[in-house]
Amino acid sequence: MFKNYFLVAVRTLRRNLGYTMLNVIGLALGITCSLLLFLVIRHELSYDTFHSKADRIYRINVDKITANGPEDNAGTPFPMLATIKASLPELSPATHLYNAEGGTFTIVSNNDRVPAKKFREEKNVLFVEPAFFDLFDFPTNGVNAKQALKDVNTVLLTQTIADRFFPGENPVGKVLRMDNVVNLKVTGVIPDAPENTDLPYVMLIDYESSKKINTFMNDTWNSTNSNQQVYFAMAPEASVKQAEDRLNQITSKYRRISPGEQERYTFQPITQVHFDERYGNFTGRTISKTTLWALGLIGMFLVLVASINFVNLATAQALRRAKEVGMRKVLGASKPQLMTQFLCETGLITLVALLLSVVFAELLLPFLNQLLELQISFSILRDAQMLLFLLVVLVAVTFFAGFYPALVISGFQPISALKSKVATARVAGLSLRRTLVVVQFTICQVLIICTIIVHNQMEYFRSASLGFDQEAIVNIPVPAGKAGDLMALRSQLESHSAVKATSFAIAPPSANIDMNSSFQYDDFSVNRNFSVNLKLADENYLKTFGIPLLAGRMYEKSDTMQEFVVNETFLEKVGVKDPQEAVGKKLLVNGGQTEGKIVGVVKDYHLSSLRNEIPPVVMSTMTQVYFYLNAKIEQKNAKAALAHLQNVWQTAYPDDVFYYEFFDDSLARFYEEEQRQAHLFKVFSFIAIVIGCLGLYGLVSFMVAQRTKEVGVRKVLGASSASIVGLFSADFVKLVLIAFVIAGPISYYFMDKWLQDFTYRIDIGYWVFLAAGALTLFIALTTVSVQALRAAFSNPVRALKTE
Amino acid sequence: MLKTVNLQKKYTTDEVETTALVNVNLNVRQGEFVAIMGPSGCGKSTLLNIIGLLDNPTSGEFFFLEKEISKFSERQRANLRKEHLGFVFQSFNLIDELTVYENVELPLIYLKVSNAERKQRVEQVLEQMQIAHRRNHFPQQLSGGQQQRVAIARAVVSKPKLLLADEPTGNLDSAHGQEVMQLLSSLNEQGTTIVMVTHSPTDADYAHRIVNLFDGQIISENVKELAIL
Ligand SMILES: Nc1ncnc2c1ncn2[C@@H]1O[C@H](COP(=O)(O)OP(=O)(O)OP(=O)(O)O)[C@@H](O)[C@H]1O
Ligand SMILES: [Mg+2]
């Protein structure tokens, strides 16, 4: 029986090759996308789920409410861990993690004649306690990692780093010097950190050593740093809520909080760390569950659009099968038997599409990985989840795409089917097909609208004025606490003609470095319930970044805080209208330790990404905390300028590794995640449109074929070609318009929500909708016209002969 | 074998009501060869379709193999069809995607006949219809007469008790038509009951009895002396 079904299916499909190809390619495209999205979603959901205690590991976060709005992060004061160990025994094991982000590593050689090799690591240098290995299950490849990091001044290298630092050698026992301050003995080599962790590391260093690197961290309750985090496992039966309350009782005794501020320490399950952008993580990348849902929906939509093609084409084709169905019924085939037959046929097409899409997915995965900067791979046969996914897709698509056509076809009355008298309209399920086409158009339009809006917001990010120059500026880190060494060589730095200006500062204008301070303004009598953002930079800062002053002047050169410059928001917050009025007023900052005069007011500029508002800023000098040399250079002589800067820099810091980044590149990184999402949207909506067009093309060619005779008659009666194209197009124009009315509000709702995440955002103009509608209309009409024109220009006599 | 009592068939569409059959009482005995004749539109095909369980009468009774089956469900009728009935149509109605062999095999597949037996029965009936040498051809590659022989092979391969033929020679030239009629006649001699609709008096000559239909009513029956014996 099935052999017979199979034979008929294969022969029918081969005979209608065009139709088969449309279906297979459409389905394969849809399934490929859903497969790729499945891989992406699965990857994102797998972050840190591989630890055996994953369901009870937590991170301590803090939710702060300040007058500037909520400030959530994952930084904890240093003494907190000791307190937990003493008072909350159910939180065990617990460990500090310190992410040094980058560092300079010198291979200490005991041979003086061999020059020391130096390496710069930009990120993921992680300091951990031995308990780290009790808590997490990272691969160690048999190395007793806990033992290896028991002593101070020890380091475990990952394989990649071991190969880079010590090519062809056994690194164990060798000594690395970090940032020229601490010697670390290599005690082992472990595999690279897995891709799916939010605790990525290139090496693991014993936690004690971090105190020499992280000089800002002191042993008080009032200093926190978001790179200093605490993870712990909760005892299986313990209550999270109770433990949180107890911890907050304890911390509230020690923490000093500005008036009007509130804070609460909360426990975040490790499995949520990847999805909550409020607290971030060491990868610098989070993805919201909403985004994952959106991706999943897009995957489903693409399969849906392809399945709709199938339903449309198959029902349109049903007439061709009438004779066969009639005869099978005469021979005693039952309706369920016929349904089975046609479902099998759909299943066969789906299976072919499925196999094709596995091949496509293999081919496209490298591009997707590149786009998303991920390293996803799959080996279909060993991947049970994947096979299950494919099976589900196979069954779902077969039923979704095949059920209705099978129902229609198997429902033919044998006598009328044999007489080819099955009413066209009924068979073709005209209203159903219209509905399905509307669904397709709606999905396409929603995707187009979303893509345009996401794209516009990205363009806005790129082009919005941030209030400072970003072109041709390089940011060069200087070793912590040693900015003075290079500042002494300033005249030398600026001696090159391609170096226009230089400024030392804690950070460039927009960077994720915040120093908050309470303050007192003017007569010190009013208690303000908000803190200010201290921006510490030298006197050349405004000039280098082209930030204009509104009143007064820039402060004078100084190594410590003497004079202040404030921004517009600051004035607004303290209630001063005229910038001139603020000049000369007294200001107290830094926990009441520093008093000085405001000498100038600067125009507002952005301190971080456009997601955030501009906070009140107080600028002043403090050489000790300058981490960056920012240099404005001549774009066309960038190479020479950089070489010169490196030269001078190296004179000041002979033991360190020079590196730099162009400012506009680092700014672009703020929106990396959004950029990626924008790319995804673009790619997938493009594919949705392609699939939709395939279906439309097939449907119209079928309609045209069916109405060849009608077209012939009309032409004989004098109809013009244009009016015949119009005949076919009018219907589709209506459908596009209906879809437009549905798609508009849906996409407005979602995009409005999405935009709410950004403080600075575009307005959704009505033209976006018009453009999307026009685009869909254009695509639909082009597809329809190509076919309709063929009919219109055909010879009417020939058309009439085809009976 | 089959008997109709006051069989009526009305087609009702939106505007018109057509009475295709009026009080038809027909009795066909085992082994008979009956021809139904009459002008176009008089209800011959309608009657044949009802007898063939492809259609339901509007009223009246229909006994097939001693059972009253006018109220049978679609499923029950499908089962009766595949076990006891064979059909031959004017337009052959072979399935284009199947070869001669596969077309003939199809009824046996629906009857769930075993593989080996199927092969043997198909081969045998192809020989009998003198079409075995074309077993791997597709219908479009055959002449009309050949196609009709395949259709007959398909109709009789399941050894039906009753063979129904609606103008089996209608699409054939007279030489091929006679060939087909001789095949039917020899099948009848081997025991198959046949009811055939035809416009051709020559074809009708092969039958034992001719039923004349006019405006949905049986107006006369001619029994050939030879057949009465
Ligand atoms: N599906 C139908 N709906 C409505 N009327 C029908 C239908 N089928 C047949 N009729 C009508 O019933 C009557 C009998 O039709 P039938 O096909 O049985 O005629 P026939 O004797 O076989 O004619 P012919 O010799 O041309 O094949 C005709 O008047 C026809 O119009
Ligand atoms: Mg007829």
Q: Do A327 and B102 touch (CB under 8 A)?
A: no
Q: In this predicted model, what pLDDT tens digit does every residue of A180-208 receive, in sequence order? A: 888 899 999 999 999 899 999 999 999 98
Residue having the nearest C-alpha atom to atom 2 of ligand 1: B11
**A615 DSSP 8-state letter:** P
Residue nearest ligand 1's atom 11 by CA: B20
Does residue A275 belong to any structural domain of this protein? no
Coil, helix or strand at residue B130: coil
Q: Point out the ligand 1 atom lying closest to the alpha carbon of residue B213.
A: 21
Q: In sequence order, what are the beta bridge partners of A536?
A: A620
- Between A324-333, A509-518, B131-140, B160-169, the lowest mean confidence (pLDDT) is in A509-518
Q: Is residue B141 part of a domain?
A: yes
| A235 and A135 Cβ atoms separated by less than 8 Å | no
Overall average pLDDT of the A563-588 stretch: 89
Tell me if B73 CB under 6 Å of ligand 1. no
Residue nearest to atom 16 of ligand 1 (CA): B43
Residue B163 has pLDDT above 90, yes or no: yes
Residue A469 has pLDDT above 60, yes or no: yes
The one-letter amino acid at B149? R
Atom of ligand 1 nearest to the CA of B197: 22
Domain span at residue B82 reads 2-223
Say yes or no for a CB contact (<8 Å) between B97 and A326: no
What ipTM was estimated for this complex?
0.89
Backbone phi, then psi, for A524, in 5-degree steps? 65, 5
Indicate which residue's Cα is closest to atom 12 of ligand 1: B20
Q: Is B45 in the pocket of ligand 1 (CB under 6 A)?
A: yes
Q: Say if A11 falls within a structural domain.
A: yes
Looking at A205, A235, A254, the residue that finishes a domain is A254
Closest to A738 (Cα-Cα) out of A302, A445, A448, A315: A445
Whether residue B7 is predicted with pLDDT greater than 80 in this model: the reply is: yes
What pLDDT sits at residue B225? 57
Q: Are A208 and A334 part of one and the same domain?
A: no
Is residue A645 over pLDDT 90? yes
What integer is the mean pLDDT of B17-24?
A: 89
Nearest CB among B78, B91, B97 relative to A333 is that of B78
Q: State whether A332 and B89 contact (CB < 8 Å).
A: no
Q: What is the pLDDT of residue A685?
A: 80
If pLDDT is split at 50, 70 and 90, which confidence band does A593 have?
confident
Instruction: Give the ligand at the shortest distance from the Cα of A422.
Output: 1
Instruction: Give the per-residue pLDDT at A141.
Output: 86
Question: Is the pLDDT at A348 greater than 50, yes or no?
Answer: yes
Final residue of a domain: which of A655, A685, A713? A655
- Give the number of domains in chain B: 1
Q: Given this model, what pLDDT does residue B195 score?
A: 94
CA-nearest residue for atom 1, ligand 1, is B11
pLDDT value of position B229? 41
- Verdict on whether the full-model pTM lies above 0.80: yes
Three-state SS string over A735-789 comes to HHHHHHHHHHHHHHHHHHHHHCCCCCCCCCCHHHHHHHHHHHHHHHHHHHHHHHH
* Cα–Cα dist A17/A37, whole Å: 30
In a domain, B228, yes or no: no
Handedness of CA B72, B73, B74, B80 (dihedral sign): negative
Over 50: is that where the pLDDT of A494 sits? yes
Same domain, A639 and A726: no
> CA–CA separation, A478 vs A504, rounded Å?
9
Rounded to 5°, angle at Cα B111 from B106 and B112: 95
Q: How far is B198 from chain A (nearest CA, A)?
A: 18
Please report whether residue B68 resides in a domain: yes
User: Quick one: A170 and A227 in the same domain?
Assistant: yes
**How are the residues of chain B apportioned to helix, strand and coil, as percentages rounded to the nearest 5?**
40, 25, 35
pLDDT higher at A227 or A204: A204
Winning range, highest mean pLDDT, from A141-150, A598-607, A674-683, B214-223: A598-607
Whether residue A511 is found in the same domain as residue A645: yes
CB contact under 8 A, A7 and B55: no
Residues A346 and A458 occupy one common structural domain: no
Q: In the prediction, which pLDDT does A3 show?
A: 80
- In one letter, which amino acid is A57? I
| Mean pLDDT, range B135-150, rounded to an integer | 91
Structural contact between residues B49 and B7, judged by C-beta atoms closer than 8 angstroms: no
The answer to whether residue A217 scores a pLDDT higher than 70 is: no
Quote the tokens at residue A673.
Answer: 């995640």
Nearest neighbour of B107 by CB, restricted to A331, A334, A415: A331
Nearest to A319 by CA among A244, A427, A229: A427
Domain of residue B111, CATH code: 3.40.50.300
Q: What is the pLDDT of residue B228?
A: 43
d(CA A302, CA A37): 11
Q: β-strands A117-128, A499-505: how paired?
A: unpaired
Q: How many domains does chain A have?
A: 4
d(CA B205, CA A478): 114
| Range name among A54-58, A425-429, A665-669, A785-789 with the lowest pLDDT average | A425-429
Most B CBs within 10 A among A20, A331, A409, hence the mutation to make, goes to: A331
Query: Cβ neighbours of residue B87 under 8 Å, at least 6 residues apart?
Result: A330, A331, B52, B155, B163, B164, B165, B166
Whether B107 sits inside 8 A of A332 (CB atoms) is yes
Across A308-322, A412-426, A607-621, which has the greatest mean pLDDT?
A607-621
For residue B121, being part of any structural domain is answered with yes
- A99: how many CB neighbours lie within 10 A of its CB? 23
User: Could you say which DSSP state residue B112 is in?
Assistant: T
Of ligand 1's listed atoms, the one at least distance from the Cα of B48 is 18
How many A from CA of B20 to the centre of ligand 1? 7
CB A651 within 8 Å of CB A428: no
Bridge partner residues of B193 (DSSP)? B162
* H/E run at residue A121: strand A117-128
Whether A620 contacts A596, CB under 8 Å: yes
**Candidates A331, A335, A415; nearest CB to B82:** A331
Which residue of A1, A4, A418 is in closest CB contact with B89? A418
CB-based contact A7 B102, cutoff 8 Å: yes
Q: CA-CA distance, A126 to A100, in Å (whole number)?
A: 6
| pLDDT at residue A425, rounded to an integer | 44
B contacts of A12 (beta carbons < 8 Å): 97
A568 and A704 belong to one structural domain: no
Q: Cβ separation of B82 and A15 shorter than 8 Å?
A: no
Instruction: Quote the percentage of chain B above a pLDDT of 90.
Output: 52
CA distance A303 to A689: 12
Is residue B27 one of the residues assigned to a domain?
yes
**Whether residue A627 sits in one domain with residue A519:** yes
Q: Could you tell me if A85 and A282 are in contact, meaning their C-beta atoms sit under 8 angstroms apart?
A: no
B111 contacts on A by Cβ (under 8 Å): 332
Q: How much is the mean pLDDT over chain A?
A: 85
Strand, helix or coil for residue B152 = helix
Residues B150, B94: contact at Cβ < 8 Å?
Answer: yes
Q: Same domain for A326 and A389?
A: yes
Q: Per-residue confidence at A525, pLDDT binned at 50, 70, 90?
A: confident
Does A341 lie in the same domain as A295? yes
Instruction: Compute φ and ψ for A279, nearest 5 degrees.
Output: -100, -20
Q: What is the pLDDT of residues A548-570, one digit of tens each?
A: 999 999 999 988 888 999 999 99
Length of chain A: 803
- Decide if B60 is inside a domain: yes
Q: How far is CA A501 from CA A493, A549, B212, in A?
A: 9, 17, 113
Do the domain assignments include residue B13? yes
Instruction: Write the burial class of residue A300 (CB in 10 Å: 0-12 exposed, 13-18 middle, 19+ buried).
Output: middle
pLDDT digits (tens, 9 = 90+) for A151-176: 999 999 999 999 999 988 888 888 88
Please give the mean pLDDT across all residues of chain B.
Answer: 89
What percent of chain A is modeled with pLDDT above 90?
26
Q: Which residues span the domain enclosing A159?
A: 78-254
Is position A469 within any domain?
Answer: no
B40 lines ligand 1 (CB under 6 A): yes
A249 shares a domain with A182: yes
Whether B20 is in the pocket of ligand 1, judged by its Cβ within 6 Å, is yes
Is A614 within the bounds of a domain? yes
Residues A613 and A679 in one domain: no
Domain ends where: A195, A230, A254? A254
Which residues crowd ion ligand 2, with CB under 5 Å? Answer: B 45
Distance separating alpha carbons of residues A607 and A533, to the nearest angstrom: 9
Which numbered atom of ligand 1 lies nearest the CA of A421?
Answer: 1
By Cβ distance, the residue of A12, A15, A334 closest to B78 is: A334
Say if residues B164 and B85 touch (Cβ distance below 8 Å).
yes
Q: What is the pLDDT of residue B40?
A: 92
Domain-embedded: residue B229: no
From the DSSP assignment, how many helices (H) and strands (E) are in chain A? 27, 22
Q: What is the DSSP letter of A625?
A: G
Torsion angle defined by CA atoms of residues A469, A475, A479 and A480, in that order, rounded to the nearest 10 degrees: 40
What pLDDT, on a 0 to 100 scale, did the predictor assign at position A58?
94
For residue A216, is pLDDT > 70? no
Q: Examine the domain organization and report whether A572 and A596 are in the same domain.
A: yes
Q: Is the pLDDT of residue A404 over 80?
A: yes
Residues A104-153 have pLDDT tens digits of: 888 877 666 666 788 888 889 999 999 999 999 999 888 888 888 889 99
Q: How confident is the model at residue B227 (pLDDT cuts 50, 70, 90)?
A: very low
Which residue of A327, A334, A419 to mutate against B (max B Cβ within 10 Å)?
A327
Nearest to A498 by CA among A647, A397, A366, A694: A647
pLDDT at A699: 75
Give the closest residue to A191 by CA, choosing from A134, A140, A155: A140
User: Which residues of B fall below an 8 Å CB-CB distance to A?
Assistant: 49, 52, 54-55, 74-75, 78-79, 81-83, 87, 89, 91, 93-98, 102, 105-107, 109-112, 154
CB B63 within 8 A of CB B2: yes
What pLDDT band is residue A422 in, cutting at 50, 70 and 90?
Answer: low
